[in-house]
Amino acid sequence: MDGDKVLLSLSSGKYYNMGKLGGIIWERTATPVTRRDIVAQLLKEYEVEPAACDQQVADFLQDLYAEGLLEPVTHAGAQGGGAGDTAG
């Protein structure tokens, strides 16, 4: 697990191997951040197609939401569901 991040859900007792990149994304959600911001940061660090990066980040965040490991946060008065949704 060289560089991989492992997360333990205290509520379920499950372990999640997030891999290296998943761990990087997880660390960036420590404070509220938009998916768009996460993607922009990753595009600066890695050579990847923007659309592919955005889709992979969206899928990863959706998995975290589905497992109850992360809650989406929307700005006051904003509606959720867009690319600018905040994770944290």
All structural domains of the chain, each given as residue ranges with its CATH number in brackets, are 21-87 (1.10.10)
User: Per-residue DSSP letters for 50-86?
Assistant: HHHHHHHHHHHHHHHHHTTS--EE--TT--SSSTT-E
Q: What is the pLDDT of residue 51?
A: 97
Per-residue pLDDT of the chain (88 residues; tens, 9 = 90+): 567 888 888 888 898 888 888 999 999 998 889 999 999 999 999 999 999 999 999 999 999 999 888 888 876 444 344 444 556 6
Q: What is the pLDDT of residue 77?
A: 40
For the chain, the maximum distance between any two Cα atoms, rounded to a whole number of angstroms, is: 42
What pLDDT score was predicted for residue 87? 64
> What pLDDT does 74 receive?
75
pLDDT at 75: 61
Within 8 A by CB and 6+ apart from 21, the residues are 42
